[in-house]
Chain A
Amino acid sequence: AQKITQTQPGMFVQEKEAVTLDCTYDTSDQSYGLFWYKQPSSGEMIFLIYQGSYDEQNATEGRYSLNFQKARKSANLVISASQLGDSAMYFCAMRALVGETSGSRLTFGEGTQLTVNP
């Protein structure tokens, strides 16, 4: 079974500063994928970034980067130069690669509520 743990229920950051949202995972699979999603107050789920377990370099997408430490089983999201619009709930998720019929089933963490202060 897979498990995602996000230990920070809430985080606060000043506008223009960087912030790290923590995510640890537990799996016995050798091959897996890690995802981050953003959920603003309007409710939609927005995909941010993906890291494969065999990817040697940390994933980056604009101001988002994923600090992947495989030995520690962590996949922290780093947001650089925070903006007011970054205020949202952030979810870490994981997918095991277990066969064609499994599709892309994701296991989610409980989320971290980020507030960016002006």
Chain B
Amino acid sequence: DAGITQSPRHKVTETGTPVTLRCHQTENHRYMYWYRQDPGHGLRLIHYSYGVKDTDKGEVSDGYSVSRSKTEDFLLTLESATSSQTSVYFCAISLRAGAGELFFGEGSRLTVL
């Protein structure tokens, strides 16, 4: 158990509203990631973090921002949600510095109407 908690697990919102998803870890791991999963696309990296206040973009970062003000929390924000952002969002951590497999949270299902 890598100690990853995502919240909320399910959310329905309307187009144009802001949404924040939270990823919390209990093990002080340096690297954290946000992925989205969509049918026909597998999982795609949105943003990742390699330390407090250190973040970088992934391949599908448009429309998303992230923040990491402390080691245990990595927040994903949709400033103005769109229907194309309806997806399942996974947070992940890597246990070994800069290497190794990813361990995933349980996912957050977001529906934008």
Asked if A and B bind, the verdict is yes
In this assembly, does B12 line the interface, its C-beta being within 8 Å of a C-beta of chain A? no
Given A44-B107, A110-B40, A110-B41, does the pair A105, B101 have CB atoms closer than 8 Å?
no
In this assembly, does A106 line the interface, its C-beta being within 8 Å of a C-beta of chain B? yes
Contact of A103 among B33, B106, B107 (CB under 8 A): B33
Contact of A35 among B45, B50, B90, B101 (CB under 8 A): B101
A-B Cβ contacts below 8 A, count: 67
Given A43-B88, A43-B107, A101-B50, does the pair A106, B56 have CB atoms closer than 8 Å?
no
Given A43-B88, A100-B50, does the pair A105, B33 have CB atoms closer than 8 Å?
yes
Given A43-B106, A110-B40, A111-B42, does the pair A50, B101 have CB atoms closer than 8 Å?
yes
Query: Are A103 and B94 neighbours in the complex by a CB distance under 8 Å?
Result: yes
Q: What count of chain B residues pass the 8 Å CB interface test?
A: 30
Residues of A within 8 A of B (CB): 4, 33, 35, 43-45, 47, 50, 91, 93, 97, 99-111
Besides A106-B102, A110-B41, 12 more A-B contacts (Cβ < 8 Å) are A4-B42, A43-B88, A91-B43, A99-B98, A102-B50, A102-B98, A103-B48, A103-B98, A104-B98, A104-B99, A105-B58, A108-B43
